[in-house]
Structure formats: structure tokens, C-alpha cells
Amino acid sequence: MTLLLATIGLAVGSLLNWAGDWLPRFASQRPVPVRDPISLPVPALWRLLTSSVSRRSSFRLQRPSWLGVAVELFNALVFAYLWERFGLSWTLLSLALNCAFFTLIAIIDLKYHLVLNVLVLPAAGVALLFQSVSPGSHTLNALLGGAMGMLPLLLVTLLKPGSMGGGDVKLAALIGLIAGFPQVLWPLSLGILAGGIVSLLLLLSRGREPKSLIPYAPFLCLGAMISLIHNPLSLLFSL
């Protein structure tokens, strides 16, 4: 069964790669040149494995990117892990959908430096609605989490214009709505820490200029996915 879930994760990763090249055409921030996705979401891993065969024949597939292969393998591992930990349950379905959603946001930001309103804003509405009707959840707690999530990034944006996009601020608010307060502090801390470490490494390396724009959404998404699976603050404040 674990292998089946890993295969499903691989297929979902292929679909996310396809959507990551299709959705940016709906960007409201600015027009961007987007790649035309192939007609069907052929797995990047399959295209990589068959690339040597296609070069010797008339059959051609779009060459895979290493990011596409990494996304598929990452999703396969995540789905397999979720099955091993939670088994067949609504928790498994919820976490799989959330992880796929945040992976999609990370893919688009890595490729196009965009955090799309068409993804974040509807998700914020759904998160707020869920928090208002879910047993044990409170709308005020979700709103406080959203405010706490966006506040640090908003301050950075105001104090140093151009250092961070408005999409990152809205994404942090979405994560806060999902996590609530004070649980939002965990994914926010993880995202800021991971982004800071990578930024420092890039600044110290010779291959990256100090003023280069570093996509920040993937780090926030990573923190969100980790916190969905394990958030020590949830355990602490449930005591």
C-alpha cells in the first residue's frame, strides 16, 4: 500500500508540474512569459528515463527539468510518509491536499517569481470558512494567526521596498489563517530560518550577486507543510 501511495504522489507531482506552467498566465501582478505545458502531464521522471530512447527515434517528449523530477520524487515520499503515519483516514487526505497545494505555490515561485492571487485568495477564504465551522476552532483565533503571519513580512516590505513581494505577505497571512494563533509562530519561524540560511549561503557564494531576488515562498511553504504534520506549539497549548 505504501508503494501505491508513492505512485499516487508521483502522479500528483506530475500534475503539479503541469499546473505550475499553466497557472502563471492568470498572474495579476504583471504579465510574464510562461512556458507552454505539454498537452498532457507526462511525468518528468518518465521523460528523464526515456530521454535516451527518444533521442534515437522520431518520438519526442519535452525534456524534463530537474525541478520537475524533484517535485515528483518529493511528492512520492510525502504521500508514502503520510500513509505510514496516518493510514487510511481523513487526516491523510487533508494533509495530502494541503501539501500538494503548498508545493504548487513553491513551484510557481521558483519558476516565475510569482505567488498567485488566484491560488492564495480563494484558499484564504476556504481556510477562514473551515476555521469558523470546524469544532474546536475559532474565527478570531484564525484572524489573529493571519495577522501575526503577515506582520513580520509586511514590516520588511515597508522598511525595505523590493526585498519581498506582496504575494509573500499574503501567503504568510494564509498560513496564519490555517495554523491559527499562536501556532503560526512555528511555520513562520521555520520559513524565516530556512530562507535566512539559504540567503546567507547564496550571498557568500560567488555564483550569486547580493542583489539577486531570492524566491521566498518555497521556504514559507516548507514551514507550512512541516507544521501541518508536526507543530509542537499545538501540543504545548493543548495541555
In sequence order, what DSSP letters do the residues of 32-53 get, joined into one string?
A: -------SS---HHHHHHTHHH
Identify whether residues 95 and 4 lie together within a single domain. yes
Identify whether residues 142 and 220 lie together within a single domain. yes
pLDDT of residue 25: 84
Q: How many domains does the chain have?
A: 2
CA atoms within 13 A on the CB side of 9: 28
- Most confident among 50-54, 138-142, 152-156, 228-232 (mean pLDDT): 152-156
Domain extent for 177: 118-239
Identify whether residues 134 and 109 lie together within a single domain. no
- Residue entry with cell 470546524: 134
Radius of gyration of the chain (CA): 19
**pLDDT: is 76 or 64 the higher one?**
76
Average pLDDT over residues 41-62: 53
Q: How many CB atoms lie within 10 A of CB 55?
A: 10
Identify whether residues 47 and 22 lie together within a single domain. yes
Q: First-to-last CA distance in the chain?
A: 35
pLDDT of residue 145: 92
| Each residue's pLDDT tens digit, 79-102 | 999 999 998 899 999 999 999 999
Q: In percent, how much of the chain has pLDDT > 70?
A: 76
pLDDT at 236 over 60: no
Identify whether residues 85 and 134 lie together within a single domain. no
Last residue of a domain, one of 53, 88, 114: 114
pLDDT at 57 over 50: no
Containing 28, the helix (H) or strand (E) segment is: none
Query: Are the CB atoms for 192 and 152 separated by under 8 Å?
Result: yes
**pLDDT: is 57 or 133 the higher one?**
133
Identify whether residues 84 and 191 lie together within a single domain. no
Query: Are the CB atoms for 129 and 112 separated by under 8 Å?
Result: no
Joined grid coordinates for residue 127: 481556510
Q: What long-range pairs does 45-53 form, CB within 8 A, spacing at least 24? A: 45/10, 45/69, 45/72, 45/73
Average pLDDT over residues 120-128: 92
Average pLDDT over residues 183-206: 84
Identify whether residues 129 and 38 lie together within a single domain. no
What is the length of the chain? 239
DSSP 8-class letter at 63:
P
Query: Are the CB atoms for 187 and 220 separated by under 8 Å?
Result: yes
